Every structure is written in C-alpha cells, then in structure tokens.
Amino acid sequence: GENVEQHPSTLSVQEGDSAVIKCTYSDSASNYFPWYKQELGKGPQLIIDIRSNVGEKKDQRIAVTLNKTAKHFSLHITETQPEDSAVYFCAASKKAGKSTFGDGTTLTVKP
C-alpha cells in the first residue's frame, strides 16, 4: 500500500520567516496531494492541495510543489505569523476512499 513520510516532525521559526515541510510517497499511481492544518483539539482543515498534473500551486502565503519523478511534495509558508502555529499533515491518494497521511509536523512560530 501507499506509504507517506513527512519531515520534519517539529519545526520552530521566527515570525516573518519561511517554513518548509516535505513529504515523500511510495505509490506512483497517487494523483492527489492535500495539506491539512490541525489546531489543538480540532479536526484537520484543508489549506491547499495539488493534483499530479500540476507542478506548483500558490494561495497567498502558502504554496505546494510536486515532483512526480522523485515522488515528493512540499508545503511552503512565507511570512509566517503566530496563528500559523499548528500541526500540518500531508496526504496522498489515488482514488476516493483511501488517503494515506503523514505523521504530521508541529509548527511553532515565535513572535
């Protein structure tokens, strides 16, 4: 089955700096790669996603890049703010019903 590895497990940055979280996947048939943000005690919420026919997608301060050949994708957050502090999960799927999640990255943005 699909295996998703996410790094780093914790990340601490100063407010205003950039943060990068990386994920690798094993199944070359995976075609959908979402990123979710989870605040303490809440359910994850989608922040950005990318499909395998696109190499990069940007939404304001957040961007995702995908390298299908290397089977990895990354989340980039620029100009980080304290409210960006949360746990971030990547996932990979190739059909509805089966998403494999990474173990999460705890991001702390220091004021």
Partner 1 sequence: DGGITQSPKYLFRKEGQNVTLSCEQNLNHDAMYWYRQDPGQGLRLIYYSQIVNDFQKGDIAEGYSVSREKKESFPLTVTSAQKNPTAFYLCASSIDSGTGGRQYFGPGTRLTVT
Which residues contact partner 1 (rule: CB under 8 A)? 6, 9, 30-32, 34, 36, 41-46, 49, 89, 92-99, 101-104
Residue 24 vs residues 66, 73, 91: alpha-carbon distances, Å: 10, 6, 10
Kindly state the smallest distance separating residue 70's Cβ from partner 1, in Å: 19
Separation of alpha carbons 57 and 96, rounded Å: 22
Minimum CB distance to partner 1 smaller for 9 or for 18 = 9
Kindly state the smallest distance separating residue 67's Cβ from partner 1, in Å: 18
Minimum CB distance to partner 1 smaller for 41 or for 111 = 41
Minimum CB distance to partner 1 smaller for 51 or for 61 = 51
Kindly state the smallest distance separating residue 5's Cβ from partner 1, in Å: 10
Contacts of 51 (CB under 8 A, 6+ apart): 31, 32, 33
Separation of alpha carbons 98 and 3, rounded Å: 12
Contacts of 1 (CB under 8 A, 6+ apart): 27, 100
Kindly state the smallest distance separating residue 16's Cβ from partner 1, in Å: 28
- The tokens for 73 are 């994708």
Minimum CB distance to partner 1 smaller for 78 or for 87 = 87
